[in-house]
């Protein structure tokens, strides 16, 4: 797929609508995708840490942050618009509503995630929110959480535990999660719940 290279990180050059269509098609054909919305901080982190770099290399990276759009412009590469986490969550939830996908929400505080689940299920009633839980758990709870998510077979798994931890977590467990599209969403649930 078409990419632009920003300091060693391969970003998709697809615009917002094209990205949503591409990701939807991957879900429909049963492919697994780890989506990362990457800003300049993520690019710099990947430059400095080889373990994180290999996580980024295996993800589908979309340009979050206007800094990425400018970096592409200065290097004459075709990234024309930002693709933000909040907007992607909304667009993918609209697809979930159309196709009755299973959706699992992980992260944020108990109150925020409860409200976010409630608002999303009101706005996208045909999407099946098959589970949610907060992002403040102990390491010895992780195995149980992964099993719980896997048992729900979500088409969409959104994880908000701060960057880069959310993406490290997804990379560690992606093979066990039984999820089609997995995405770290940062502060998105705080935005949606508010
Ligand atoms: N968060 C979480 N567990 C943690 C740390 C953060 O669930 O151990 C949640 C936090 O409540 C918020 C989201 O992750 O909903 C994003 O956190 P933050 O704004 O700190 O991350 P950033 O936006 O800087 O990536």
Q: What is the pLDDT along the chain (194 residues), one digit of tens a residue?
A: 899 999 999 999 999 999 999 999 999 999 999 999 999 999 999 999 999 999 999 999 999 999 999 999 999 999 999 999 999 999 999 999 999 999 999 999 999 999 999 999 999 999 999 999 999 999 999 999 999 999 999 999 999 999 999 999 999 999 999 999 999 999 999 999 99
Residues contacting ligand 1 via CB (< 6 Å): 107-109, 112, 135-136, 160-163, 186-187, 189-190
Look at the block and give the residue holding tokens 């200065």.
Answer: 74
Q: Ligand 1 center to residue 75 CA distance, Å?
A: 32
pTM over 0.80: yes
Which residue's CA is minimally distant from atom 15 of ligand 1?
108
Cα of 107 from ligand 1 centre, angstroms? 7
Counting the structural domains of the chain, the total is 1
CA of 108 to the centre of ligand 1 (A): 6
CA 138 to CA 124: how far, in whole Å? 31
* Enclosing domain of residue 54: 3-193
């Amino acid at each position: 797929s078409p990419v632009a290279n920003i300091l060693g990180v391969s970003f998709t050059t697809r615009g917002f609508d094209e990205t949503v269509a591409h990701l939807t098609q991957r879900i429909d054909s049963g492919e697994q995708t780890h989506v990362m919305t990457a800003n300049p901080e993520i690019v710099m982190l990947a430059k400095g840490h080889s373990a994180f770099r290999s996580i980024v290399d295996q993800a589908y990276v979309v340009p979050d942050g206007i800094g990425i759009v400018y970096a592409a412009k200065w290097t004459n590469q075709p990234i024309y618009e930002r693709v933000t986490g909040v907007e992607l969550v909304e667009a993918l939830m609209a697809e979930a509503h159309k196709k009755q996908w299973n959706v699992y929400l992980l992260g944020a505080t108990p109150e925020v995630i409860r409200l976010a689940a409630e608002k999303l299920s009101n706005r996208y009633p045909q999407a099946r929110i098959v589970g949610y839980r907060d992002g403040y758990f102990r390491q010895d709870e992780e195995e149980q959480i992964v099993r719980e998510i896997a048992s729900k077979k979500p088409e969409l798994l959104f994880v908000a535990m701060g960057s880069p931890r959310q993406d490290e977590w997804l990379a560690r467990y992606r093979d066990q999660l039984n999820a089609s599209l997995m995405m770290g969403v940062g502060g998105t649930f705080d935005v949606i719940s508010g």
